[in-house]
């Protein structure tokens, strides 16, 4: 395993050659969070409870999105499709390495650097906008929050990998990914906490993997540690993890069979 | 002991047939027609340990496909592939640690980082200890005459320097089997020569088995005693390079320098006149007639100098590629 840390190290070094790219990406993340932040601020004007969320809970939710986007949604896996289509995948297949683990450690660099900046930005937001930011101190909440974060990272990693492996069969990998971005933005809870929708719709959301990328960890952070909520949440997450993992194995094996190592 | 054994290898690709016209293109969104391309069609050969074999054929002959099957990148449609006792497509770590594939047009180096960072990563991947790594690196750097460029970002290197770095990255673990696909492509004459010298030395020093494709006959001529020629996915020739021209060309080349003017009519009766440059004439003459033609030339013409040669390798190869048997 340790040999892959060099991948993280090189990926980090690579980041600094594309500083402008990275800065603009951060700007994008922050702007989208600020928009959501001010939107909710306006909705809460004059009242303190909407959809069972207090104002400070809602604003904390939105601000922490920056952190979760960094930890969970940062990925370089879209490069896989490019590597498959350009034939550069060959350079990985020819070496004794596990391509998935390699990608995990490449993502680690991405997550590390995005999270690092997210934390600074959150600090700035709290200093300048002075929202009532909830700091969770209950160790049980923090424990389950971290556990749900790890689950979320794995879920997102698996789904992203699967999407990139489409590259084995089609050159048009950006369309599915784009739809995926929109689905995640909506169904993971990056615009609003998912449980403000009608109960019947939320029942469906609960069964989808997307719910557990953002909403579930944040809900735990904000204080929801009802046993039933946790058991249900983690069971559905683990169910999806197993399904996605098996699917990945099959798709990867089939993909390699049709891989043509083009361009050489 | 055979290092590489290939038996009845076939690799067919399914290719999507595009149709012309807007309506048809649109229709093909729903119903696609495919056809099979036989990239490699029933090829067998074996290569012994320490052999350096040239693998040649025109563009699209199936060379690269074969190399990819041998290195485990492609899943063979049928046939038996055995390299070092492994089935390449299973891509066992033990197998991958013993081979390497170098592609002249693809790089594994991290574009934005100094090459040495890529070497370091490979050190970790191939699980080399520090002393082995340093020893191998220094040897390779010396053989390839590489200096401080290893500390420069790869993107700032010239093509030739980059190719050297690619080779170091590919050889840092001292593979027993090396597949090279166009290693000299795009390099200038001097660099080509250096690359060839290096491959020759590497082969001898480490008894590495090397299979090499190239479009430059100089590469093959200088490095390989044995060549394997394929065309249209089929094996055409497998054997000694020297015997190639004996087998495939039915003529010899006579170059004659005349003292003064000569009778063109009489000369053309001996064989085909290929070129006339003042008093120098190049004739293609059937092998069986060569002796007689030389005698005639010396007796009936005023010849200052006479030279009899086998045709150039390039010519022989193009004869084979075009499927003609006589020139």
In a domain? residue A12: yes
Contact B113 A14 (CB under 8 A): yes
Of residues A36 and B27, which shows the higher confidence score? A36
Which 3 state secondary structure label does DSSP give B10? Answer: strand
Domain with CATH 3.30.70.980 in chain B: 250-309
CATH of B2-245 among 3.40.630.30, 3.40.1440.10, 3.40.50.300, 3.40.50.620: 3.40.50.300
H helices present in chain B, as ranges:
22-27, 63-70, 93-96, 115-125, 130-143, 159-171, 189-206, 217-223, 241-248, 264-270, 290-300, 313-322
CB B30 within 8 A of CB B188: no
In a domain? residue A235: yes
**Among partner residues A90, A95, A260, which is closest to B125 by beta-carbon distance?**
A95
Per-residue confidence (pLDDT) for residue A176, from 0 to 100: 86
Mean of pLDDT over chain B: 87
Q: Topology of B250-309 in CATH?
A: Alpha-Beta Plaits (3.30.70)
Contact A95 B73 (CB under 8 A): no
Q: Is the pLDDT of residue A264 over 70?
A: no
Contact B103 A259 (CB under 8 A): no
In a domain? residue A171: yes
Tens digit of pLDDT for each residue in A246-259? 999 999 999 988 88
Per-residue confidence (pLDDT) for residue B239, from 0 to 100: 92
**Among partner residues A17, A87, A94, which is closest to B112 by beta-carbon distance?**
A17
Per-residue confidence (pLDDT) for residue A257, from 0 to 100: 85
**Among partner residues B13, B110, B118, which is closest to A260 by beta-carbon distance?**
B13
Residues in chain A, overall count: 264
Taking contacts as CB-CB distances below 8 angstroms, the residues of chain B near A3 are 124-125, 127
Contact A3 B124 (CB under 8 A): yes
Q: Which residue of A has its CA nearest to B13?
A: A260
- CA B104 from centre of chain: 11
Query: C-alpha angle B208/B68/B184, rounded to 5°?
Result: 60
Q: Which residue of A has its CA nearest to B15?
A: A260
Q: Which residue of A has its CA nearest to B100?
A: A94
Tens digit of pLDDT for each residue in B172-208? 999 999 999 988 887 888 888 888 999 999 999 999 9
Which tokens in the block code for residue A152? 């979320």
* pLDDT bucket at B302, cuts 50 / 70 / 90: confident
Taking contacts as CB-CB distances below 8 angstroms, the residues of chain A near B118 are 10
H and E: helices and strands count for chain A: 11, 2
Per-residue confidence (pLDDT) for residue A15, from 0 to 100: 83
Q: Is the pLDDT of residue B246 over 90?
A: no
Q: Is the pLDDT of residue B26 over 50?
A: yes
In a domain? residue A198: yes
Domain range for A12 is: 2-258
Least confident residue range of A57-61, A186-190, B234-238, B267-271: B267-271
ipTM: 0.84
Q: Is the pLDDT of residue B7 over 90?
A: yes
Per-residue confidence (pLDDT) for residue B169, from 0 to 100: 94
Per-residue confidence (pLDDT) for residue B325, from 0 to 100: 45
Give bridge partners of residue B305 from the DSSP assignment. B257
Enumerate residues 6+ apart whose C-beta is below 8 A from A91. Answer: B106, B107, B108
Counting residues of chain B whose pLDDT is more than 90, the rounded percentage is 43
Using a CB–CB cut-off of 8 Å, the residues of B that contact A are 13, 64, 68, 71-75, 91, 93, 96-97, 99-101, 103, 105-108, 110, 112-113, 117-118, 120-122, 124-127, 153, 181
Taking contacts as CB-CB distances below 8 angstroms, the residues of chain B near A90 are 68, 73, 101, 103, 106
Q: Is the pLDDT of residue B25 over 80?
A: no
3-state percent helix, strand, coil for chain B, nearest multiple of 5: 40, 30, 30
Phi first, then psi, for residue B98 (nearest 5°) are -105, 0
With 0-12 CB in 10 A as exposed, 13-18 as middle and 19+ as buried, what is A253? exposed
Task: Give which of B125, B152, B177 to mutate to test A binding, by max A Cβ within 10 Å.
Answer: B125
Tens digit of pLDDT for each residue in A14-49? 888 888 888 888 898 889 889 989 999 999 988 888
Domain total of chain A: 1
Domain with CATH 3.40.50.300 in chain B: 2-245
* pLDDT bucket at B78, cuts 50 / 70 / 90: very high
* pLDDT bucket at B265, cuts 50 / 70 / 90: confident
Q: Region B226-235: what's the mean pLDDT?
A: 91
Q: Is the pLDDT of residue B30 over 50?
A: yes
Element (H, E) at A152: helix A139-165
Q: Is the pLDDT of residue B55 over 90?
A: yes
Per-residue confidence (pLDDT) for residue B29, from 0 to 100: 66
Per-residue confidence (pLDDT) for residue A262, from 0 to 100: 59
Radius of gyration of chain B (CA): 25
Of residues A144 and B308, which shows the higher confidence score? A144
Per-residue confidence (pLDDT) for residue B327, from 0 to 100: 39
Q: Is the pLDDT of residue B309 over 80?
A: yes
Q: Which residue of A has its CA nearest to B60?
A: A264
Which tokens in the block code for residue B312? 């150039």
In a domain? residue A263: no
Mean of pLDDT over chain A: 91
Least confident residue range of A151-155, A215-219, A230-234, B297-301: B297-301
CB pairs under 8 A between A and B: 73
């Amino acid at each position: 395993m340790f040999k892959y840390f060099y991948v993280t190290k090189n990926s980090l070094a690579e980041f600094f050659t594309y500083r402008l790219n990275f800065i603009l990406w951060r700007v994008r993340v922050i702007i989208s969070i600020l928009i959501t932040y001010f939107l909710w601020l306006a909705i809460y004007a004059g009242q303190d409870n909407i959809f069972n969320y207090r104002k400070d809970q809602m604003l904390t939710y939105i601000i922490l999105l920056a952190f979760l986007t960094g930890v969970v949604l940062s990925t370089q896996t879209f490069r896989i499709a490019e590597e498959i289509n350009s034939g550069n995948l060959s350079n990985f297949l020819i070496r004794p390495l596990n391509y998935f683990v390699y990608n995990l450690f490449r993502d680690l660099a991405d997550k590390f650097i995005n999270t690092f900046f997210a934390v600074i930005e959150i600090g700035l937001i709290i200093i300048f906008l002075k929202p009532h930011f909830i700091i969770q101190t209950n160790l049980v909440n923090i424990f389950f929050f971290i556990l749900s974060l790890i689950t979320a990272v794995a879920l997102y990693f698996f789904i992203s990998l699967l999407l990139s492996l489409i590259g084995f069969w089609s050159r048009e990998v950006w369309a599915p990914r784009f739809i995926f971005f929109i689905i995640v933005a909506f169904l993971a809870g990056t615009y609003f906490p998912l449980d403000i929708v009608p109960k019947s719709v939320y029942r469906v959301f609960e069964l989808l993997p997307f719910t557990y990328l953002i909403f579930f960890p944040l809900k735990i952070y904000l204080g929801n540690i009802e046993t039933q909520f946790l058991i249900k949440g983690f069971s559905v997450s683990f169910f999806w993890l197993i399904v996605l993992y098996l699917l990945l194995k099959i798709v990867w094996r089939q993909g390699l069979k049709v891989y043509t190592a083009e361009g050489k | 002991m055979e290092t590489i054994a290939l038996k009845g290898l076939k690799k067919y690709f399914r290719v999507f047939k595009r149709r012309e016209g807007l309506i048809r293109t649109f229709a093909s969104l729903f119903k696609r027609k495919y056809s099979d391309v036989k990239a490699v069609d029933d090829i067998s050969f074996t290569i012994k340990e320490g052999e350096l074999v040239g693998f040649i054929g025109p563009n699209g002959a199936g060379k690269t496909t074969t190399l990819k099957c041998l290195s485990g990148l492609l899943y063979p449609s049928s046939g038996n592939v055995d390299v070092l006792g492994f089935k390449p497509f299973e891509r066992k770590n033990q197998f991958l640690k013993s081979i390497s594939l170098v592609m002249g047009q693809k790089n594994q180096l991290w574009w934005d980082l100094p090459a040495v960072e890529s070497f370091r990563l490979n050190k970790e991947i191939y699980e080399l200890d520090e002393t082995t790594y340093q020893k191998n690196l220094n040897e390779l750097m010396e053989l390839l005459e590489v200096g401080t460029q290893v500390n420069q970002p790869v993107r700032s290197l010239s093509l030739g320097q980059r190719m050297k770095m690619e080779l170091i990255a590919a050889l840092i673990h001292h593979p027993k089997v090396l597949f090279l696909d166009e290693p000299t492509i795009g390099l200038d004459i001097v660099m080509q020569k250096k690359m060839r010298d290096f491959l020759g030395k590497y082969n001898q020093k480490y008894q590495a088995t090397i299979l090499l494709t190239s479009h430059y006959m100089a590469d093959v001529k200088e490095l390989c005693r044995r060549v394997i020629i394929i065309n249209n996915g089929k094996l055409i020739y497998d054997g000694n390079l020297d015997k190639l021209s004996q087998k495939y060309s039915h003529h010899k080349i006579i170059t004659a320098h005349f003292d003064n003017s000569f009778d063109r009519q009489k000369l053309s009766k001996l064989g085909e006149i290929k070129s006339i440059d003042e008093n120098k004439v190049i004739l293609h003459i059937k092998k069986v007639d060569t002796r007689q033609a030389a005698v005639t030339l010396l007796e009936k013409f005023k010849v200052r100098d006479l030279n009899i040669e086998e045709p150039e390798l390039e010519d022989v190869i193009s004869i084979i590629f075009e499927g003609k048997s006589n020139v």
